[in-house]
Structure 1
């Protein structure tokens, strides 16, 4: 067995990733034609793909596993980062909704 065969995603992972990649690609197209992102563990049962579009809009998509999330991002052409700090965080554009929501959380709402 070659190393490429060892590293290739299995058929189930590939199917799930392709389905999620369609959503990631749609987000990219709606927000400037490209997106950056981070694949983060949420827990045993899920992984979160956090996206930042070229226009600064952000969103997320949940995948069942880290492998599926990472593969979906690769298929969608998302530029992946190791974490959501620094350069990637500075790209995020927040609007009135986010500011109101953050204030509500701080005030116990």
Structure 2
């Protein structure tokens, strides 16, 4: 029984170490985005078994996202990066996003009769 407990503890510490490395890598990517766009804010969105989406909005209106395998890793990455997190992607926060022709064509244009993606 003691041997089983040791094995489980080793597995837990290995998982914790991998999660910490993943959070650190994501934090580095978040900081890189923030540095390139004059700062950034974010919002976390649970996307099921896939994980948690980290939506980023730069001070210049640019936006992007990353996916963390777990919500805990997403929270850790956001905290390590130092960005402000919003609870919801509400009107004020969403209003900071600047979209261009690509977004209108790919995400909205096709559905609302905009230019085709071809």
User: Is TM (by shorter chain) over 0.5?
Assistant: yes
Q: 1:88 aligns with which of 84, 90, 93?
A: 93
Residue number in structure 1 paired with 2:49: 44
Aligned residues: 99
* CA–CA separation in structure 2 for the residues paired with 1:44 and 1:99: 29
Residue number in structure 2 paired with 1:18: 24
TM-score (norm 2): 0.77
Partner SS state of residue 47, structure 2:
strand
> 1:106: how far off?
3.3
**Structure 1 gap ranges (5+):** 1-9
Deviations 1:16-71 (A, max 9, x none): 10011111111101111x11110110112311000000101000000000000111
> 1:14: how far off?
1.8
Q: 1:71 aligns with which of 76, 80, 88?
A: 76
* CA–CA separation in structure 2 for the residues paired with 1:39 and 1:84: 9
Moved over 2 A (4+): 10-13
Partner SS state of residue 48, structure 1:
strand
> Which structure has more helix as a fraction of its residues?
2
Max Rg structure: 2
* CA–CA separation in structure 2 for the residues paired with 1:41 and 1:82: 12
* Aligned pairs for 1:48-59 within 5 A: 48-59=53-64
